[in-house]
Structure 1
Amino acid sequence: MRATAVEKYMSTAAKNVPRGSQTSQTNASPAAPPRYAGFDGQYIGGSWRAGRQGGTERDTDPYSGETLVEISMANKDDLDDAYQSAAKAQIGWAAALPSERSAVMIRALGIMEARHEEIVDWLIRESGSTHVKAELEWQSVCAMTREAISFPYRVEGRILPLDEPGKESRAYRQPLGVIGVISPWNFPMHLSNRSVGPALALGNGVVLKPAEDTPVTGGLLIAKIYEEAGLPPGLLNVVIGPIDEIGDQFTLHPVPKFISFTGSTRVGRHIGGLAMSGPQIKRVALELGGNAPCVVLDDADVEHAARASVVGRFLHQGQICMSTNRIIVDAKVYDEFVDQFTTHVKTLKYGDPKDPAVSIGPVINQKQLKAHIAHIEGARAAGAHQLVGGKPEGQVLPPHVFVDVKNDMQVAQDEMFGPIVSIIKVSGEAEALLVANDTQYGLSSAVFTRDEERGLKFALGVQAGMTHVNDHSVDDTPTGPFGGEKNSGIGRFGGEWIIHEFTRDHWVTIRHEQGAYPF
């Protein structure tokens, strides 16, 4: 099915570009379809149009500072149009045959595969992704879309037992209606599409608000793909506007039944509060901050643990909610681990993410860079010892490794979200578990041991939504229940769990014959 979709798309894409999907031949290889263009406004009601807020936003390359596109911003009226368009289009979409919804996802997957190089290029230029990270994100986007192809056929109701003659009890599974999606800048396309794809496949309409740092890869590029795949107009809308103009109203608007948010715990608390306190209570899925512990027990394969932990911390400059924030190492292997870990970190090349040899590119913006520098200075002042580091070059911050870290230091308790890691020494498995759980967060985690049963027991004691044995903490699949505990959020993404989140139970009883009533 996958190969067929690609072949079909490649043979017809150049002739059948739908309205609104303006293209440009610039940088297009002979084998690739013409590149998309026209990322300068909003996608509302199936039309590409200028926002009505009056201002524009510059979207820039975080490494070079180059302006990629200037976008006319949306206001509250644009947001209202988007939600009303989604609500109107969703009625017919919910009634569509499963094969119709599945076919759109099949075509979207084919387009994503055919536009592989274009997508990767946008991820590198807009989000500062290295080649490795951009490829991983493209794979994740495709994998989630591939999983969503089956979703229209996996929505099942139930016939329930009932102790009343002549009466039947049924539970139907139905789409929620319109889902509002707010996505972050770190894995912009994946973290948007993991909600957008399933929501559409399950019969919902969507309004998407991408992060201001990644409006193309987090929103407009996705809209182009689904438009080209033949998604009926109005079902997917992308609004890009100032937070003070459309931020709170995005959640407070009466149309959406569900808000899917990925971002910081601070903002997630605010959105959760709006969803509960507004005129209409809404369901939410909040995937928030993390402080992932990576625990290296005394029987671990130290070399394997060290190499895996380097990836777990420094992939995409550590700008991942699942990134290994603290490495907790048993005293018996601590020195060996620190030596191997730092030796490997020193081999990492940092700089221009367009260079395939670069492992660490730029952080997303100056605000983030200033926060990282403050954390580095704070760690030194608190008594942590820096083994690896360096001065920033533009927005590229070299990897920083701290040892002699205590778990109550700010560098250990805060989510770094940058190329900074703390290594903490502990004595024994019991202390390792206490330290691992001594955080307000509970998203991802990892443990290394040669004894898999020991690893499983330890994993089940970690207060987190996800724990990976003998692997790093950055792991997400389209079939697993992705989500966190404590201040890392509520709700689950992926597989059967996202089907449950984006649909509702509707209980219906049918009396087939007259009943006996008490009065």
Structure 2
Amino acid sequence: MSVFTETHEYKWQNNIFTGEWVSASGGGRNEVLEPATEQVLTTTGLASGNDVQLACARAAETQQDWVKHTPRERSAIFLKAARFLEDNAEELALLIARETGGIIPKGQHEVKEAAFILQLASSIAVEADGHTLASTPDRQSYAKRLPLGVVGVISPFNFPLILSTRAVVPALAMGNAVVSKPDTQTPLSGGMLLALALEEAGLPQGVYQVLPGGADAGEALCTAPEVAMVAFTGSTDTGRKVGELCGRNLKKVSLELGGKSPLIILADADLDVAASNIAWGAYFHQGQICMASGRVLVHESIADELAQKLVEKARHLPVGDPVSGQVALGPLINRRQVERVHAIVHDSVKAGAVLQAGGEYKGLFYQPTVLSGVKPGMRAYEEEVFGPVINLTTFKTDDEAVRVANDTEYGLAGAVISADLARAQAIGAQLKVGMLHINDQTINDECTNPFGGCGQSGNGHAVGSISDWDTYTHWQWVTVKQAATPYPF
């Protein structure tokens, strides 16, 4: 089975997905650029706000039938969709690498995890969805979970297949219809590939729809009366706007936002192991990850030696076109992001940080960068960089490490590395983060864990396994008497 149609034309060519592959109502088109070459990879449809409104209305209708499908029927669809991804894994991974600028193993990881999320959803569909409650002898009382109706999903460019699938599929499994607006830079990975898989698996038309679009499409999704909630993953600034729109329209909202995750290295850490963890946490996918190790806090006694190990890594990590398979880092997503990363690095150097490696770029390829002496007030200390930059800050005591780690508006992930496990756990227990990793770096997700943060990183553990029932359903309390009985008046 191939991702391509028999004519070798992509189904998504110039199209949006409404259950069928059709043109946007105004004929809008969205050119998708391959970051490594900056050439057009493909063209999808570009949905307008009106397209989104029509999709939401259709989703409300199709959801009424979808919720009547038996749990086993829904479960079987997700298993078939997972097999579609697995059967086409090699081709899909390459396409994801080309569209996102990630290395091929990153594309392979996305396909594998998306298939696993579909498999998890097949189990969610047949899980118990209620509780019997204590009541009076003549009355049965129970609470059950009901789907919200229509769920809107807005997903980002960095890990688009995983970050779309982890919201779309649990919502579908619980009986909701979903209208998805992927980032226009990555509409294939962000929704079209999943649409192909679910279409092949027999999902009824209109239950899942994919409409790449701009700000007007996003606003329409947040304001459409049929949409009961919006699941948003992306920047904190955009998340605020989504939250405001949803709040104004009394919609439930799930916000998984940015981060400035601290990675603390204590003086007793193995420096080679620590350097490996730091480089992975800061450089994987060019640092374009919300839980990247955005601030590396190092005990002052080992700072110089550890910095030299990181400089050596930065100078030897290959950067280039991920399709070649011979690189560790690919391109950033666009020129605007390259310029932003470069400005943060050099503004920080002007403010007193020391540029020990990198700080240069060619095209969209930014060199792995090491900054030492990063202090409060510098952009590299304060802002989420979203680029391949290691920001080194020193500390003297454990208390100072905790204070500096918590000196941020974000609260997504945190990590501590030490040979003394009890000491590391004691420090970790004081970090204000939603995800904590002891003797590891900050980039971790197993799809079976609640994922999210606090502060400006979002409104809690919005996605992931045990939290999905709370996110995509609401409780209904039901009581039943054998017959009506009179009251005192």
Same fold per TM (> 0.5)?
Answer: yes
Partner of 1:198: 170
Aligned counterparts of 2:139 and 2:159: Cα–Cα separation in 1: 50
Q: Which residue of 2 aligns with 1:339?
A: 308
Shift of 1:22: 5.8
Determine whether 1:323 maps to 2:292: yes
Asked if the contact 2:411–2:432 (Cα under 8 Å) also holds between the matched residues in 1, the reply is yes
Residues 112-153 of structure 1 deviation map (CA, whole Å, 9 limit, x = unaligned): 001101211111111101123222222221221221120012
The equivalent residue for 1:504 is 474
What is the root-mean-square deviation of aligned Cα atoms in Å? 1.6
Residues 241-260 of structure 1 mapped to structure 2, 5 A cutoff: 241-243=213-215, 245-260=216-231
Mapped pair 1:23 → 2:15: no
CA contact (8 A) 2:320 2:365 kept: yes
Deviations 1:419-438 (A, max 9, x none): 11210010011100100000
Q: Trace 1:445-484 onto structure 2 (pairs within 5 A).
A: 445-484=414-453
Q: Secondary structure at the match of 1:359?
A: coil
- Partners of 1:296 and 1:483 in 2: how far apart? 23
Give the match for residue 358 of structure 2.
389
How far is the alpha carbon of 1:217 from its aligned partner? 1.1
Contact preservation (8 Å) 1:314, 1:399: yes
Does residue 223 of the first structure (1) align with residue 234 of the second (2)? no
Is 1:517 aligned to 2:483, yes or no?
A: no
Sequence identity (%): 36
Task: Tell me if the contact between 2:182 and 2:213 (Cα under 8 Å) persists in the aligned partners.
Answer: no
Is the 1:76–1:246 contact (alpha carbons within 8 Å) kept by the matching residues of 2? Answer: yes
One-letter amino acid of the counterpart of residue 224, structure 2: H
1:78 to 45, 51, 70: 51
TM-score, structure 2 length as denominator? 0.96
Q: Which amino acid aligns with 2:15?
A: G
Question: Contact 2:14–2:30 at 8 Å: present in 1 too?
Answer: no
Is the contact between residue 298 and residue 428 of structure 1 (CA under 8 Å) also seen in structure 2?
no
What's 2:16 paired with? 42
Answer yes or no: is the 8 Å Cα contact 1:291–1:441 preserved in 2.
yes
- Assess, with a 3 A threshold, how the Cα gap between structure 1 residues 368 and 117 changes in structure 2: closer, same or farther: same
1:265 to 236, 246, 258: 236
1: CA distance between counterparts of 2:305 and 2:94?
39
Contact 1:23 1:37 in 2 (8 A): yes
Whole-angstrom CA distance in 2 between matches of 1:336 and 1:25: 58
Q: In structure 2, what residue type is equivalent to 1:370?
A: E
Name the structure 1 match of 2:182. Answer: 210
Task: Choose from 188, 209, 221 the match for 1:237.
Answer: 209
Deviation at 1:241, TM superposition (A): 2.4
Aligned pairs (5 A) from 1:75-474: 75-162=48-135, 164-243=136-215, 245-278=216-249, 281-474=250-443
- How far the C-alpha of 1:237 sits from its partner, in A, is 0.5
- Mapped to 2, the partners of 1:128 and 1:24 lie a distance apart of 27
Kept in 1, the 8 Å contact 2:318–2:326? The answer is: yes
**Residue type at the aligned position of 2:14:** D
Q: CA deviation at 1:514?
A: 4.4
Q: Does structure 2 conserve the Cα–Cα contact (< 8 Å) formed by 1:145 and 1:197?
A: yes
Aligned length: 488
Alpha-carbon contact 2:322-2:330 (below 8 Å) kept: yes
1:384–1:403 CA contact under 8 A, matched in 2? yes
Task: Give the partner amino acid of 1:40.
Answer: N
Question: How far 1:189 sits from its partner (Å)?
Answer: 0.8
For the residue of structure 1 that corresponds to 2:140, the secondary structure is strand
Q: Secondary structure at the match of 1:231?
A: coil
Structure 2: stretches of 5+ with no match in the other structure:
none
TM-superposed CA distance for 1:36, in Å, is 4.9
**Residue of structure 2 in register with 1:32 after alignment:** none
**Larger deviation, residues 303-312 vs 327-336:** 327-336
User: Distance between the aligned counterparts of 2:117 and 2:420, measured in 1?
Assistant: 32
Q: Conserved in 1, the CA contact under 8 Å of 2:181 and 2:217?
A: no
